[in-house]
Structure 1
Amino acid sequence: MHKALRLTALAGLFMAAIAQAATPIDVYRDPNCGCCKSWIKYLEANGFSVNDHVEPNMSALKQRLGVAPRLASCHTAVIGGQFVEGHVPVAQIRDLEKHPELAGIAVPGMPAGSPGMQTGQVHQAYQVIGLTRDGADRVLASYPADSSL
């Protein structure tokens, strides 16, 4: 019995360590958007602890955070004081802290095949754009279309 208690305690510590290791991120979304929920599930499956905020006025939120209209998508997240607009892959979100010169990053629009938008076999090409604090864009990553379809 003593051994079982130790194993239970170790399992509890392990689960607590996993919970603490999750990276917190705030996601703001329209209450009627289904792909936003899919992107949230994607984040959670990849080690993020999501604070889900249903936001009735996404336009005002995006403006307040400095999301340029040309970069807009359906949902907006905030991590470490920087915005994450749209269906951005986890790799670029994790690299964002290495770019303090950026106000945020974005995947404009809602490209099919991007995280949270895997609803069919079509995979459009898309880019992850960084927006500098002085308003300049730069491409941080490019994802090609799936040419096998």
Structure 2
Amino acid sequence: MHKVLRLTALVGVLMASIAQAATPINVYRDPNCGCCKSWIKYLETNGFSVNDHVEPNMSALKERLGVAPRLSSCHTAVIGGKFVEGHVPVEQIRELVQHPELVGIATPGMPAGSPGMEMGRARQTYQVIGLTHDGVDEVVADYPTTQ
């Protein structure tokens, strides 16, 4: 019985430390978008603590954050003072802090197969684009189709 109690306590401590270690991120989305909710679940599954904000005027928010229209997608997140636009994979979000020259990163559009846009076997080639302080686009990652 004592072993069970100790194991239960250990699991509780472990779960609490995992929850505390989650990286906070603010996600702003349209109230009617299903893929935004899927991307949020993807973030949470991959160690992020999401503050979900339903935003009535996404265009104004994107403009305020400096998201260029050519980089636009359906939702916008903010982490460490930088924007994350669209269906960006967690690998690039985690690497963003290592790039002081970038004001944000984006996966423009809504490419099939990107996180939150899984549609069966459908896959589109897409890029994650970084935007520098000078307004220059920089390819951060390429995701080719796997078919």
TM-score relative to the length of structure 2:
0.96
Q: 2: distance between equivalents of 1:136 and 1:70? A: 12
In 2, the alpha carbon distance for the partners of 1:127 and 1:11 equals 39
Residue of structure 2 equivalent to 1:7: 7
Equivalent residues in 2 for 1:1-149, closer than 5 Å: 1-146=1-146, 148=147
Cα displacement string for residues 30-58 of structure 1 (whole angstroms, at most 9, x for unaligned residues): 00101001111111111111111100000
Of 1-10 and 117-126, more deviation after overlay is shown by: 1-10
CA deviations 1:61-115 (Å, max 9, x no partner) are 0001010010000000000110000000011001001011110000000011111
What secondary structure, in the 3-state scheme, does the structure 2 residue paired with 1:98 have? Answer: coil
CA distance in 2 between counterparts of 1:145 and 1:6 reads 48
Q: Which AA in structure 1 matches 2:64? A: R
- Report the 3-state secondary structure (helix = DSSP H, G, I; strand = E; otherwise coil) of the residue aligned with 2:97: helix
| Residue identity matched to 1:135 | G
- Number of paired residues? 147
- Greater shift in the superposed pair: 2-11 or 82-91: 2-11
Secondary structure of 1:67's counterpart equals coil
CA separation of 1:5 and 1:30: change in aligned 2, threshold 3 A: same
Q: TM-score, normalised by structure 1?
A: 0.94
The 3-state SS of whatever aligns with 1:85 is: strand
The gaps in structure 1 that reach 5 residues or longer are none
Q: Give the superposition deviation at 1:3.
A: 3.5
Aligned-partner Cα distance in 2 for 1:96–1:60: 23
Q: Distance in 2 between matches of 1:123 and 1:8?
A: 42
| Contiguous gaps of at least 5 residues in structure 2 | none
| Cα distance in 1 between the residues matched to 2:61 and 2:88 | 18
**Aligned-residue offset at 1:26:** 0.6
Identity of aligned residues (%): 80
Please give the secondary structure, in 1, of the residue aligned with 2:127: strand
Which amino acid counterpart does residue 59 of structure 2 have in structure 1?
Answer: S
One-letter amino acid of the structure 1 residue matched with residue 22 of structure 2: A
Deviation, 1:8, is 2.5
